[in-house]
Structure 1
């Protein structure tokens, strides 16, 4: 696909010289983490034109890469010309061409930010608040002319250990100063929106938040809807996430209430490792099966579960919860702490860790009701987060509403939730 309107050959030598020099530096410096490639064959850059331009840090191998590539595929399926600009958050220039290997099949659509001379597009989607505060992105904004820009805030401003990732007042000021005629600042979810409101309290900064959120898009066809016809003991529960302290409950009693050990009726199958739990308890809980990432795909893992249980640390500022939506698309009941209700609405069952077992028991007691509920949840999740929803958002400018099922399904769901 040729995304160029013209190529300024006179400036091409500057890029080649720049990359050769920093490639030499990189050969003598540290290597990136596994899954990151250092010198992919990317788009040449220059003067460019596209229908949609996605600007993001392509080094991250996880949800950001999956979302970016799913958006690329959805837009291209709709007949739009798409370009991805890799805007690194690294200060070292020899890292500017680092890229997650997930992008390799589409590397001809990826151009390094410093190779862009000028780019025009109908829609610009910039994803990543930390990237938006870099000097490289600031320079890039003067070389891009979008008709409309959507700035997506896809992570919280604070790490689990309390360290800042970015500053909300500073971000709002930067968005206000962008040299573009039409800009939206879209949080990924209501939880991120609430964080922005809290951090702006007591400041003189005017909020630039758009009325609509911009949740990630998922390829619903990648997840086979296969709920268990019957929930019988032993019931397998699990979750998949990075093995990070912020992804686990900090209280051992609460942790083992949500993910029991030594229970003949409940098996626990974890994808992503559990070294944090081993350090906390001094052992791997009895009856847990712990799998590292890389052994089979996420789809195969979800197909091995009966129920998805996701209880991260209360200090965890979860931007969205992509793994939760994937579980819903796979036909799994999802059991979550109450704070996720703002994002997932009727798609989840919300309770405290000590109430997880009771929710599972009530789900297992009504297979017909559970199957009808899961089918409705799957259809609603596909409607709100599937690939077609992305194109509708782009063309209609609409918002993604809070997930809400029919009154009949809501009434059944209330019989499963813990009583007040």
Structure 2
């Protein structure tokens, strides 16, 4: 095989590389000739090299045009045209992201402004044809969709004991509070309706949480869609951010009592008497809800949110009926798995659980080290991940162990601890503090920053980060004091956050949960437990009996 045929058999990229190497060598020879040869030799030689370079560049451009499908040489090689093309591509991506958001909002019930924007995009000739076509398809699909069935068909008058309006696609405390109350109402034989209201600004297409859907039985608990008019004894709304922008297809509701549970402060952080990072707007939420359901009153989830509203949003509360009573979340204290009463071991197990977010940890490395000390007689256990502590400290101390959030049941995690320590960002307004309640309900002495004292009173111990190790040492040395603090925490949970305490809150709004149906459910649960125990199986809890109610 000749050298020429061997080169021809190479791929275009290899030939281009070989040509580039040859030209580089030729330029090097030209540099030598420039100093050693007369112009009569040097000039023709360099002219030939430049011609060869032009041929190689032309072939490279041609090959790239074929590979990219470009038909415009200037667009390929001109920096200005390349930047223009990149701007068009970015704009197309932005527009497609907007179209996906508009599609999700339309399906979630935000129809007015959404259809106007889609029609504007579909009619704009400056918009790429593919995006205009997509906007038209979204509108067409929405207009020909089958009408939503009226889920109150089995109820002659469309009446419920309690109607919930909330964002049911969330995780965390909002969903858990909704779930606990729905279970309590269903156990009492009440009719419960659920109206899902996603957020307008984000996650509007996220599916409803499975924990909520598992309670919908089509009888006592119904998901409401497509009903123009409803009535109820109590309209219970939770999670104010949903009302920053209301759905356009909400039903008319006639309710004897109307309550918004304010379980989140209007801002995420509060310091020096003011708030930072807005979450929702007080007047916007009040105005939207008043326009929909008329007069109603607000109940905060605890004293911390109440105080933030009064101190930092007092002027915005004009016209808002803010109740002095709190709507604390409820907990099934009977289902709590308490730690046994054995003495604290030589290595005290100190833990906490929360989502792994910068707001959920002290922002200063010194506070983090003090609150969760690196000592041989202390083992720090974290449920929920510890990436942010690792970033703050530079490394995780040797006595730390961290587990992903849903990898272990919370009750099981807490049962294997000796102390619970919960310190967060110093400017974060923790609306309530569900995690410490779960710890106290599990029989753990709980150590918190002083700002939690208005919520839990004597139920917890309060300290600066540097005082945590001393408190742990004192309680470990005095087992009777350890057991006393444990009992005080359990009593606090029972008094403020138990199902019995929550039944009293429902009674204050005209919903009696202590009727005969509740007794019947409890009796059935007890009989099931006895029967199951006699067969050598685990006892069936009352909560499980409720879930299997026919």
TM-score (norm 2): 0.61
Query: How far apart are 1:351 and its partner, in Å?
Result: 0.5
1:82 aligns with 2:192: yes
Q: Which of the residues 232, 236, 249 maps onto 2:345?
A: 232
Query: How far apart are 1:186 and its partner, in Å?
Result: 0.4
1:364 aligns with 2:508: no
- In the TM superposition, 1:218-367 aligns within 5 A as 218-261=331-374, 263-367=375-479
- In the TM superposition, 1:21-420 aligns within 5 A as 45-46=151-152, 48-90=158-200, 95=204, 98-108=207-217, 115-136=226-247, 140=250, 143-160=252-269, 162-174=276-288, 177=291, 179-180=293-294, 183-202=296-315, 205-261=318-374, 263-397=375-509
SS at match of 1:171: helix
Are the aligned partners of 2:268 and 2:279 in contact in 1 as well (CA < 8 Å)? Answer: yes
Match of 1:403 in 2: none
SS at match of 1:280: helix
Question: What is the rounded CA distance, in whole Å, between the counterparts of 1:43 and 1:63 in structure 2?
Answer: 31
CA 1:217–1:203: 2 relative to 1, 3 Å:
closer
Quick check: 235-244 or 158-167, which moved more? Answer: 158-167
Query: How far apart are 1:337 and its partner, in Å?
Result: 0.3
Are the aligned partners of 1:237 and 1:308 in contact in 2 as well (CA < 8 Å)? Answer: yes
Question: What is the rounded CA distance, in whole Å, between the counterparts of 2:316 and 2:356 in structure 1?
Answer: 36
Question: What is the rounded CA distance, in whole Å, between the counterparts of 2:485 and 2:323 in structure 1?
Answer: 32
How large is the RMSD of aligned CA atoms in angstroms?
3.0
Question: What is the rounded CA distance, in whole Å, between the counterparts of 1:18 and 1:169 in structure 2?
Answer: 27
Question: What is the rounded CA distance, in whole Å, between the counterparts of 1:202 and 1:63 in structure 2?
Answer: 29
Question: What is the rounded CA distance, in whole Å, between the counterparts of 1:229 and 1:147 in structure 2?
Answer: 51
Question: What is the rounded CA distance, in whole Å, between the counterparts of 1:338 and 1:97 in structure 2?
Answer: 37
Question: What is the rounded CA distance, in whole Å, between the counterparts of 1:243 and 1:325 in structure 2?
Answer: 19
SS at match of 2:322: coil
Query: How far apart are 1:278 and its partner, in Å?
Result: 1.4
Query: How far apart are 1:97 and its partner, in Å?
Result: 7.0
How many residue pairs match? The answer is 360
Quick check: 230-239 or 219-228, which moved more? Answer: 219-228
Higher helix share: 2
Are the aligned partners of 1:175 and 1:208 in contact in 2 as well (CA < 8 Å)? Answer: no
Are the aligned partners of 2:195 and 2:225 in contact in 1 as well (CA < 8 Å)? Answer: no
TM-score (norm 1): 0.78
Query: Can you give the 5+ residue segments of structure 2 that lack an aligned partner in the other structure?
Result: 1-105, 112-133, 135-147, 271-275, 511-550
Query: Larger C-alpha radius of gyration, 1 or 2?
Result: 2
Are the aligned partners of 2:352 and 2:422 in contact in 1 as well (CA < 8 Å)? Answer: yes
SS at match of 2:237: strand
Query: How far apart are 1:200 and its partner, in Å?
Result: 3.0
Question: What is the rounded CA distance, in whole Å, between the counterparts of 1:227 and 1:341 in structure 2?
Answer: 26
